[in-house]
Structure 1
Amino acid sequence: MPISIASYGNFINYLFWFKISVVIVFFVSCKDKSPEIDYLITNAMVYSGELVDPSLLDIGISGEYIVFFGDSKSTGINAKNIIDASGLFLCPGFIDPHTHLDRDLSGPDYKSNLSSLRQGVTTVFAGNDGNSPLPIARKLEEWERNGIGTNAGLFVGHGAIRRMVLGLGAKQPNVEELEEMMNLVAKSMEEGAFGLSTGLFYAPGSYAKEEEVEVLAKVAASYGGIYDSHIRDESSYSIGLISSIQEAINIGRKTGIPVHISHIKALGTDVWGKSKEVIELIESAQKEGIDVTANQYPYLASKTSFRATVIPRWAEDGGNDAMLERFKNNEVKSRLLNEIKENIRKRGGAEALVFSEAENKLYDGISLKKFAELRKLPEAEAAISILAEEPNLGVISYNMIEEDLKNFMLKDWVVTGSDGGSGHPRKYGSFARKIGNYALKEKLISLPFAVHQSTAKTADLLGLEKRGLIKEGYYADIVIFDPKKYIDKATFESPYEEAEGVEYVFVNGAMAIDKGHYKGILAGKALRINDFE
């Protein structure tokens, strides 16, 4: 039977409205089912990394990035995982600009970097104090191949380059040798180093003149790097604390490179109380237009090599074997003992020097004073005696005062850094101690300030893009901690105790710590300065 024109029109009309209904249902369905994100963190007190008061907000994570920052109830966000962070504080993952963790990150037992993660640190830098692995590219590629628990970057070490080109002697480079050193800095920067580090207190870096460092810093500056310096003298060993700060500033003035003074301090009885003079000097340079910052660990004792603490640099000329030969040389021994005695005094006396990481565990944790009594030797003679047995012995040196520590901590150009290495609680506790003790407990500094100096400020001085802030489009490096429990537990007697109070840590969007438990993942990235050009 033929279809009437009226019936055909009704059919077309039906199809039209059917299609419209399908479209409406589709869009309503899409609205009700927003794209799923990986994690939604709700009810967190958020310290964004900026110098602003915290807010109660929700954070969304998808893949490696923060994709939402606000009130999730009004947006209809769907998430695969929801974390209720009620009563907890959320911050950007902390950034540690000065560590000695390159060996940890390279070893199967420690590459997770739990000493950092347990504090909420998600990014670390190594190759400091002039001592870096070489080539830079090889180490970064190794970390990528084997996996690391936190993000990590490297400086190229002036001391490492000097050893490679000039050996361990107190010589000065000729034109060809200096050019070789410049080429090594350039190659390292091209491979991803974030700048040049120096350890001018330590041999062989200590043998370099300012002009040598200036030339190499200028190369690093041409690649956008910074000058990270353990200055020549934090005390009164050689040119003195003030002159050493001036040397670092001069290098910045002559080359234009940003200067970063590593673990700023006034070390030893001769310079206690000089923090105000150091601060005035640095802030005067800043007014001149020189970019000067510093990092600090919140402890009154340092850790370094016992040899560097008591032995004058001239006695180290040529390396360890040459030093041991001088110990046997009666012609130089009198001078050596006198200088050792003076260096012990500058450090606060033999009782303030406590051995750490000794190969002979009988010496671990005892002072030079106690060791001298056991050996029935004068203290300077005892120092030579133990170094003849253990030339690489470490020492905890109780050599700072609270007034100087606090004066530096209050400055907005001083960021948090651990100088983390074995045998000192700073490796396991620096960030937890600064925030848990000096911000939350003592209230010397505000919590927004403490977080800023551990995140955004550090990211800015290092040139790290999309890290250091809680912000949409930034990498999801995040720490969530309980403010009632967050504190360092490591002490000088028990330096390997992990910090407490961190509930969750995300590294590049992956959950590394869940309800206080490490999940066994290695989500860190090997960072290169070239990544941020």
Structure 2
Amino acid sequence: MTKRGNSMKVCSGIALAVAGLLAGTSAMAQSQGQAADADILIANGRIYPGGAEPFIGDIAVSGDRIVYVGPEYSGTAARTIEAEGMVVAPGFIDTHTHVGDALASDIPAARLVLPFVTQGVTTAFIGVDGGGDPDVSAVFGKDTGRDYGINFAAYVGLGALRSKVIGSEDREPTAAELAEMESLTEQAMCEGALGLSTGLFYAPQSFAEEGEVVALAKVAARHGGTYDSHIRDESSYTVGLVGAVEEALAIGRLADIPVHIGHIKALGVDVHGQADEVIAAVEQAQAAGQVVHADQYPWSASGTGLSSALLPRWAQDGGREATLARFDDPEQMARIRVEMSENLRRRGGPESLLITRGPADLLGKTLADLAPAAGGDPIQAAIDALRRSETGVASFNQTESDIAAFMKKPWVMTSSDASAGHPRYYASYARKYDTYVKDRKVLTLRQFIDQSSVVPAAAFKLEGRGSLVEGAYADVVVFDPEAYAPRANFLEARLFTQGVQTVLVNGTLEMDDGIPTGRAGGRPLPRTSARDGC
């Protein structure tokens, strides 16, 4: 069968499997074998074990663990998967995602998170950008008996804490409110939170001063957590890109906590070319003994809300209702329009913002496309859209030279920032391989695999994950190096990746011959040190 034919088989098979799952039926079942030394044998693949050179060999799995990795397995197996010509790698670990709603869904098919599994992603971090629910035990599905398609770890978020305790107002917390947020952070860490996440670019988190963040980060630090941040400015909105990175590093030093910079980038025309300056600041901190790392998605377009991209922060004080009231105040509206125009300029102009979420008649159109109906004014087009609903956009705002500069760094991990309407949900890992390994040769295959597995596992102390070694959890992906590629794009964002043949999650066969099986082997991953001091 030609590769094109195989691609069509895989894609149609996924579609049929998803349809069956949504109908409540069972997809293909894992083959049942007789008693054997191992449950599954992956044979003759090119094994990239994570952190070491590849070799041709076998991997044997029993239960949820890898029991053999080497040149030739001498035992028997209930099921043998032939992997000659295939790449065999640790299941990918996505350190920045927005799939919490899928994992919390009452629909079993949604909890499989097939857009990830079909790329080879077996573990995801949720609660990023400050959105992490303080009730971490509920996030982990305690006492629900739910099944999951992927493993997941969760942050407690500043945005969720602030909204719960303070609301959406632009003010400092009182002493009592700060103490309440500290207590909620403590509880979340004791329930297994990965650390504290912030989205200091977004209101109401943008109203938080550094001291407030440090106080909460110190709580997370006492339990071995990480400070994860969508930094205050990735562009030139307020403190600037370099200033925001320096703020994140300062918070890490003051709280004595590892720092993780979410989706590191240089966003917008004012900061293009600043990747080297950011890298220098991070590596200077590392040389001084500070633990700092980052993640990156392999796209030149970010995904955000139209309000976040264009509205000034003061106009968002009090939430959406207060913002809409300001739209009706001529004096405030005049000021808003001036600042929106400047924000649109720094984002690259009306052609650079593509509507990906919101009213159906706006989807797939740029602000430039919508401007004629608004009298030729893209700002008015944006205001009209925001009056109707909160609207999501793909914002084309980065340069390939900055993307490559960050990507080459060994402390930068692969991520997706997966969100609805952006192809990064369905295709980030495939795109990074297809574009930056095969096509542009920014990375080697081993670098791509390591940045997607062993590097995040080591940075976040995910014991037994990220490497193909005996005794590790059997999170494994097998893909065809010739066929592994994205299908999703900005106009058709919900197309499954092609080329992944086999996926194991804790030893459960979730992709078999390129088709989802409907099985769910994922688990919540509370921090192993979560109960220290609790």
| 1:256-275 matches, cutoff 5 A | 256-275=256-275
Counterparts of 2:180 and 2:528, CA distance in 1: 22
For residues 253-293 of structure 1, give each alpha carbon's deviation from its aligned partner in whole angstroms, at most 9, with x where no partner exists. Answer: 11111100000000000000100111111111111111110
- Equivalent AA in structure 2 for residue 110 of structure 1: A
Structure 1 CA distance, aligned partners of 2:297 and 2:368?
A: 26
Question: Structure 2 matches for 1:426-465, cutoff 5 A?
Answer: 426-465=424-463
- Quick check: 1:525 aligned with 2:523? yes
**SS of residue matched to 1:133:** coil
Matches of residues 4-19 of structure 1 in structure 2 within 5 Å? none
Give distance in 1, aligned partners of 2:376 and 2:489. Answer: 30
- Report the counterpart of residue 382 of structure 1 in structure 2: 381
The amino acid that maps onto 1:49 is G
Name the SS for the 1:460 alignment partner.
Answer: helix
Offset, 1:436 = 2.5
Tell me the distance in 2 between the aligned counterparts of 1:440 and 1:474: 29
Equivalence for 1:139: 139
Q: Secondary structure at the match of 1:529?
A: coil
* 2:249 partner letter: I
- Which residue in the other structure is 1:17 paired with? none
TM-score normalised over the length of structure 2: 0.91
The structure 1 segments of at least 4 consecutive aligned residues displaced by more than 6 Å after TM superposition are none
Q: Secondary structure at the match of 2:140?
A: helix
Q: Do the aligned residues in 2 keep the contact of 1:190 with 1:530 (CA within 8 Å)?
A: no
1:476 maps to 474
Q: Does 1:396 align with 2:394?
A: yes
CA contact (8 A) 1:106 1:142 kept: no
Q: Take 1:170 and 1:417, find their aligned partners in 2: how far apart are those partners?
A: 31
- State the alpha-carbon separation in 1 of the partners of residues 356 and 82 from structure 2: 43
Deviation string, structure 1 residues 378-429 (Cα, Å, up to 9, x no partner) = 2222222221111x11011111110000000000010000000111111111
The amino acid across from 2:445 in the alignment is: L
**Cα 1:531–1:523 shift into 2, 3 Å:** farther
Letter in 2 for 1:46: I
Equivalences for residues 163-242 of structure 1 within 5 A: 163-242=163-242
Task: Give the match's secondary structure for 1:277.
Answer: helix
What does 1:285-304 correspond to in 2, within 5 Å?
285-304=285-304
Q: One-letter code of the match for 1:37?
A: A
Residue 507 of structure 1: which of 490, 500, 505 is its match?
505
Residue 373 in 1 paired to residue 372 in 2? yes
**Shift in CA distance, 259/120, structure 1 to aligned 2, threshold 3 Å:** same
Could you tell me which runs of 5 or more consecutive residues in structure 2 were left unpaired when the two chains were aligned: 1-33
Partner of 2:39: 38
DSSP-derived class of the 1:298 partner: coil
> In the alignment, which residue of structure 1 is the partner of 2:414?
416
The answer for the alignment partner of 1:14 in structure 2 is: none
CA distance in 1, matches of 2:347, 2:353: 8
The amino acid that maps onto 2:428 is S
* 1:39-59 CA-partner distances (Å, limit 9, x unpaired): 111101000011x32100111
Aligned length: 496
Q: Which amino acid counterpart does residue 87 of structure 2 have in structure 1?
A: F
Structure-2 separation of matches of 1:402 and 1:238: 24
Secondary structure of residue in 2 paired with 1:397: strand
CA apart distance, 1:134: 3.9
| Cα drift, residue 377 of structure 1 | 5.0
Q: Secondary structure at the match of 1:412?
A: coil
Contact 2:134 2:184 in 1 (8 A): no
Are the counterparts in 2 of residues 133 and 139 from structure 1 also a CA contact under 8 Å?
yes
Question: Retained in 1: the 8 A contact 2:297–2:417?
Answer: yes
After TM superposition, give the deviation of residue 437 of structure 1 in Å: 2.3
- Distance of 1:441 and 1:329 partners within structure 2: 52
Correspondence list, 1:112-151, <5 A: 112-141=112-141, 145-151=145-151
Q: Secondary structure at the match of 1:146?
A: coil
1:88 corresponds in structure 2 to 86
What's the offset of the Cα at 1:104? 1.2
Letter in 1 for 2:399: I
Q: Contact 2:201 / 2:233 at 8 angstroms: preserved in 1?
A: yes
Q: Distance in 2 between matches of 1:71 and 1:384?
A: 62
Decide which moves more: 370-379 or 84-93. 370-379
1:531 shift after superposition: 6.7
Aligned-residue sequence identity (percent) comes to 43
Q: Deviations over 1:421-479 (max 9, x none)?
A: 11111111111111222113322111111111000100111110000000000000000
Match of 1:362 in 2: 361
Provide the C-alpha distance between the structure 2 equivalents of 1:58 and 1:66, rounded to a whole number of angstroms.
11
1:79 deviates by 1.1
Q: Whole-Å Cα distance in 2 between the matches of residues 375 and 437 of structure 1?
A: 38
Q: Measure the CA separation in 2 of the matches of 1:388 and 1:257.
A: 41
Q: Contact (CA 8 Å) 2:102, 2:110: kept in 1 or not?
A: yes
> CA, structure 1 residues 142+115, in 2 after alignment: closer, same or farther (shift >3 Å)?
farther
Counterparts of 2:240 and 2:477 in 1: how far apart (Å)?
40
CA distance in 2 between counterparts of 1:475 and 1:189 reads 24
By how many angstroms is 1:35 displaced? Answer: 5.9
AA paired with 1:290? Q
Which residue in the other structure is 1:486 paired with?
484
CA distance in 1, matches of 2:509, 2:530: 24
Q: Counterparts of 1:274 and 1:311 in 2: how far apart (Å)?
A: 24
Q: Which residue number corresponds to residue 58 of structure 2?
A: 58
Q: Note closer, same or farther for the CA distance 1:94–1:233 as it changes in structure 2 (3 Å cut).
A: same
Q: Which residue matches 1:347?
A: 347
Q: Deviations over 1:297-325 (max 9, x none)?
A: 00000110000110001000011111111
Cα deviation 1:164-217 (Å, max 9, x = unaligned): 000000010111110000001110111111010000000110000011001100
Cα distance in 2, alignment partners of residues 96 and 255 from structure 1: 25
Q: Return the alpha-carbon distance in structure 2 between the equivalents of residues 436 and 378 of structure 1.
A: 38
Distance 2:363 2:379 in 1: 19
Residue 360 of structure 2: SS of its match in structure 1? Answer: coil
What amino acid sits opposite 1:493 in the alignment?
A: L
Is the deviation greater in 303-312 or in 141-150?
A: 141-150
**Are the aligned partners of 1:34 and 1:77 in contact in 2 as well (CA < 8 Å)?**
no
What do the CA deviations read for 1:226-251 (whole angstroms, capped 9, x no partner)?
A: 01100000000011101000000001
Following the alignment from structure 1 to structure 2, what is the Cα–Cα distance between the partners of residues 439 and 424? 22
8 Å CA contact 1:106, 1:143 repeated in 2 = no
**In the TM superposition, what whole-angstrom CA distance separates every residue of 1:51-88 from its partner, at most 9, and x where no partner exists?**
x3210011110000000111335xx3111111111111
Mark the runs of 5 or more structure 1 residues left unpaired by the alignment.
Answer: 1-32
Structure 1's 146 and 279: CA in aligned 2 closer, same or farther, altered over 3 A? same
SS of the residue corresponding to residue 318 of structure 2 reads: coil
Q: 1:532 to 1:83 in 2, by over 3 A?
A: farther
Distance (whole Å) between structure 1 residues aligned to residue 258 and residue 529 of structure 2: 19
Work out whether 1:100 is the aligned partner of 2:98. Answer: yes
Look up the equivalent residue of 2:363 and give its one-letter code: D
Deviation of 1:331 (Å): 2.0
The AA in structure 2 aligned to 1:77 is: G
Question: 1: CA distance between counterparts of 2:434 and 2:451?
Answer: 14
